[in-house]
Structure 1
Amino acid sequence: MDSSETRGNVGAGAGRSASLATETGDVKPDRYAWKALWASAVGYAMDGFDFLILAFALSAITASLGLTGAEAGSLATLTLIGAVFGGVVFGVLSDYFGRVKLLALTILIFAVFTGLTAISQEYWQIAVFRFIAGLGLGGEFGIGMTLAAEAWPAKFRARATSLVAVGWQTGVFLAAIVSAILIPLIGWRGLFLVGIAPALFAFYVRRGVHEPALFEENKNKTRRSFPLWLLFKDRATTKTSVGIAILTSVQNFGYYGLIIWLPTYLSSEFGYGLTQTGAWTAVTVVGMIVGIMVFGVLADRFGRRPLFWAFQTGAALSVLAYSQLDAPFALLIGGAIMGFFVNGMLGGYGAIMAELYPTEARSTAQNVLFNIGRAVGGFGPLVIGALAVVYGFSLVIAMLASIYVIAIIATATLIPERRGAALN
């Protein structure tokens, strides 16, 4: 049983602390909580699926449409740019009009425009479709995290948001399997038509899940203030928002930088073939999934900040150690351990941001601050690739370990602990 705690509310303003009741006793998630979690996790899985099928189909798209290397590479960039804009827009709209409505809308947008990608005949068409699909992709993350956090008891909140985060990795696995099967059979156009399937799930979300009671009770507050301003309304809140943005930037930079270049690193440094690099990378992703799940369980037991410190320290040490490995078995196990720490932190953002921001700005905070990190993280592959040309992959991966020191400092100096606090 968790003891009741009173913690300062970041959104309460400088010099004023809010006494928030915490949930105690053996409170269990009810049927609605599970439905909200299911909708959020599946939505995020479809988010990951629709984003990653572009990577698997890119070579076929390039050959079919006669794209240049720059044009082909820009498609992923345009999707990420759309995601950043979508995160801001749909986060604000979710705080105004409701989590369930906007979750369904974002799923519908990225599904429909993923499907429309199949009819593209020129570069500008596919570029527009990917950008608009990105709007939906960027909006979905924070809305789903907010819905799950508001629906689940405080005692299990980090576990709930971790289950939502696992959805992305599930979608990545599904994209890899489906792409390998379908591209040889129906081509890249057929694959993107399959990507429209999540649109059907959007109707289930809209009809099968109602808005959280917490949102209904507080929705009129949003009419009196613009949610985006509430992320920076006073010194304490601004400090926290900067801290969260640093955490998400470090995590995304490390994640994208490693997951994009890991197959190339294994191939160029150790001569691994396609099958072996795929297997070793898959084990690393499994480590990421386990890390997310463990983070959620332990963060509910010991607090958010201690777990962020532990995983940030683990990420720095495991990335540094991985850069020194050369034996196949060591690289296999080392990759799983590295993945465990590098991406395990993803499970904590939904819970910690839900507790740090009020209901009228919660979805905005989730989407804006995570997508700032996603935007910074998008430079990870570019920076690592450029430095690797000069210094080699082993040294650059070792250098990557240093970024987690920044996150450790930010967690210690900028972010308060509010484990178990009732949402306000």
Structure 2
Amino acid sequence: MMEVISRLESVPVSRFHYKLLVLTGLGWLFDAMDTGVIAFVLPVLASEWGLSTAQMGYIGSIGLLGMAVGAVLAGSAADKFGRKAVFSFTLIIYSVATGLCGLAWNYESLLVFRFLVGFGLGGELPVAATLMTEYSPPGKRGRFVVLLESFWGAGWLVAALISYLIIPRYGWQMAFFIGALPALYVFFIRLAVPESIRYLMDKGRQAEALEIVAKIEKEAGVISTVQPAATTATKLTKTSEPKLAFKELWTAQFAKRTIILWIIWFGIVYSYYGIFTWLPSLMVKQGHTVIKTFEYVLLMTLAQLPGYFSAAYFIDRIGRKATLSIYLAMSAVSAYFFGLGGSAGVVLFWGSLMSFFNLGAWGVVYTYTPELYPTRIRAFGSGWAAAVGRFGGILAPTIVGYMITGPEGLPKVFTMFTGVMMVVALAVWLFGEETKGKTLDEISK
């Protein structure tokens, strides 16, 4: 097994890695597009259906509940049935469910469909990150996974453009119908995305793993001195698979890592979904028109992309801990000043910085999480961390819905988010484990 893994890790960055980045990244983009659309639909629905702020919060929270359930179940399934199959299945679920949101006839039916959307989204994200992590060269792994996360920013841009161009002309239903189109992408994934080599080796499927490695080496121009699998490889006997046990996340080897990851995920999901699910509605509440609000949020969303790219630059240079701590702290500072309000220019400035640093931090989180667990529980552990985070996301939109009432509501909300992000930044700095430049096997020992 180690021979195959060492061959995989010694392959230089090549066309294969960028192709896999784009293939998984498009799935990520569709995720973000579906998540972003609901944020832009909310202020329109609130007016059309007469929703209270609490009901708007529940719409955001129910999707996060679905993501929590999806993350746990899909993480377990990916370690049992493979990364590729679960990646495809979850993409179909959230695409179809998004289309059904456009058919929602009342508040309750929309809640059901948003739960299903969340289930698919929550399942797909950690599985895609695990797949990219397991194929990336050790020295460039951070950069590739952060670049994968950058597709989230692109997806939010697409959602903002759809909302700006489609909703005012054709209604909120059409935005959801467009969100169903990614289901067609699954047929392409089935043909073009390879299964994880580490997963195949862990399941005793050595011949398949060797075939993929040889193909990657050939594409990268690497001449292997190893004989073809048919003549030298010994067939591995498939032993009975140990059951994935939740308690393994709490063994002496992984307990500290699990605690830190759960703190990170809870804090960053709580702040992100609390802020960005409500952002268009909060700006409408400040007196901006729906069209102007969509314009402002579109500009703030643009700032996410350089945030990702800068994090991709720093993560393999100064490390995971420093990059994540700095970006979370700066996101906290930006959130505080954004909450104080002011002119349109001031709001745009601090809102853009908040987007820049918050989404850059997200890229580091998706890099860091799967690195801290071995192959047999990598997707399982990542799924549980993501699920704990989703519970933070479930709480945040609802809490904001209750806090936002009154003249001091906005400053109170953003002061709260500032405190949460500062606590997480400090926890990472003091207790996080650095993984920069290490192979996945070195980290999991």
TM-score by length of structure 2 reads 0.80
Q: 1: CA distance between counterparts of 2:105 and 2:358?
A: 39
Q: 1:12 is matched with which residue?
A: none
Q: 2: CA distance between counterparts of 1:115 and 1:278?
A: 22
Partner secondary structure for residue 13 of structure 2? coil
Q: 1:226 is matched with which residue?
A: 244
Q: 1:166 is matched with which residue?
A: 150
Q: CA deviation at 1:44?
A: 1.2
Alignment of 1:195-210 (within 5 A): 195-210=179-194
Residue 28 of structure 2, aligned match among 34, 40, 44: 44
Partner secondary structure for residue 342 of structure 2? coil
Q: 1:239 is matched with which residue?
A: 256
Q: 1: CA distance between counterparts of 2:7 and 2:43?
A: 52
Residue 343 of structure 1, aligned match among 356, 359, 364: 359
Alignment of 1:69-80 (within 5 A): 69=52, 74-80=58-64
Q: 2: CA distance between counterparts of 1:227 and 1:378?
A: 25
Map Cα deviations across residues 144-187 of structure 1 (whole Å, 9 max, x no partner).
11111111111111111112212222222212222343345554
Q: 1: CA distance between counterparts of 2:68 and 2:313?
A: 29
Answer whether contact 1:293 1:347 (CA < 8 A) is retained.
no
Q: 2: CA distance between counterparts of 1:412 and 1:225?
A: 34
Q: Match for 1:163: what amino acid?
A: L
Map Cα deviations across residues 84-112 of structure 1 (whole Å, 9 max, x no partner).
10110011100111111110111011112
Q: 1:309 is matched with which residue?
A: 325
Q: 2: CA distance between counterparts of 1:22 and 1:388?
A: 55
Q: CA deviation at 1:23?
A: 10
Structure 2's unaligned 5+ residue stretches are 205-238
Q: CA deviation at 1:125?
A: 4.4
Question: CA 1:68–1:355 in structure 2 vs 1: closer, same or farther (change >3 Å)?
Answer: closer
Q: 1:14 is matched with which residue?
A: none
Q: 2: CA distance between counterparts of 1:32 and 1:171?
A: 23
Q: How many residues align?
A: 401
Say whether residues 1:334 and 2:350 are aligned partners: yes
Q: 1:7 is matched with which residue?
A: none
Q: 1: CA distance between counterparts of 2:322 and 2:28?
A: 26
Q: CA deviation at 1:381?
A: 3.2
Say whether residues 1:139 and 2:123 are aligned partners: yes
Q: 1: CA distance between counterparts of 2:345 and 2:248?
A: 49
Say whether residues 1:110 and 2:123 are aligned partners: no
Say whether residues 1:291 and 2:307 are aligned partners: yes
Answer whether contact 2:326 2:425 (CA < 8 A) is retained.
no
Instruction: Between 189-198 and 38-47, report the one with greater CA deviation.
Output: 189-198
Say whether residues 1:407 and 2:436 are aligned partners: no
Q: CA deviation at 1:196?
A: 2.2
Q: 1: CA distance between counterparts of 2:429 and 2:261?
A: 12
Partner secondary structure for residue 378 of structure 1? helix
Residue 248 of structure 1, aligned match among 244, 259, 265: 265
Question: CA 1:196–1:393 in structure 2 vs 1: closer, same or farther (change >3 Å)?
Answer: closer
Q: CA deviation at 1:324?
A: 4.8
Q: 2: CA distance between counterparts of 1:90 and 1:114?
A: 19
TM-score by length of structure 1 reads 0.84
Q: Match for 2:391: what amino acid?
A: A
Q: 2: CA distance between counterparts of 1:199 and 1:190?
A: 16
Q: CA deviation at 1:188?
A: 4.0
Answer whether contact 2:198 2:375 (CA < 8 A) is retained.
yes
Residue 360 of structure 1, aligned match among 358, 367, 376: 376
Residue 65 of structure 2, aligned match among 75, 78, 81: 81
Give the RMSD, CA atoms, in angstroms: 3.1
Q: 2: CA distance between counterparts of 1:168 and 1:383?
A: 25
Q: 1:418 is matched with which residue?
A: 435
Q: CA deviation at 1:133?
A: 2.5
Instruction: Between 296-305 and 118-127, report the one with greater CA deviation.
Output: 118-127
Partner secondary structure for residue 302 of structure 1? coil
Q: CA deviation at 1:230?
A: 3.1
Q: 1: CA distance between counterparts of 2:106 and 2:424?
A: 42
Answer whether contact 1:21 1:421 (CA < 8 A) is retained.
no
Q: 2:85 is matched with which residue?
A: 101
Question: CA 1:415–1:126 in structure 2 vs 1: closer, same or farther (change >3 Å)?
Answer: same
Q: Match for 1:170: what amino acid?
A: A
Q: 1:281 is matched with which residue?
A: 297
Partner secondary structure for residue 400 of structure 1? helix
Instruction: Between 379-388 and 35-44, report the one with greater CA deviation.
Output: 379-388
Q: 2: CA distance between counterparts of 1:274 and 1:188?
A: 13
Q: CA deviation at 1:356?
A: 0.7
Question: CA 1:210–1:268 in structure 2 vs 1: closer, same or farther (change >3 Å)?
Answer: closer
Structure 1's unaligned 5+ residue stretches are 1-19
Q: 2: CA distance between counterparts of 1:279 and 1:121?
A: 28
Q: CA deviation at 1:295?
A: 1.2
Q: CA deviation at 1:257?
A: 2.5
Map Cα deviations across residues 112-166 of structure 1 (whole Å, 9 max, x no partner).
2222334444555444333223211110110111111111111111111112212
Q: 2: CA distance between counterparts of 1:282 and 1:60?
A: 17
Instruction: Between 44-53 and 140-149, report the one with greater CA deviation.
Output: 44-53
Question: CA 1:304–1:72 in structure 2 vs 1: closer, same or farther (change >3 Å)?
Answer: closer
Question: CA 1:283–1:343 in structure 2 vs 1: closer, same or farther (change >3 Å)?
Answer: same
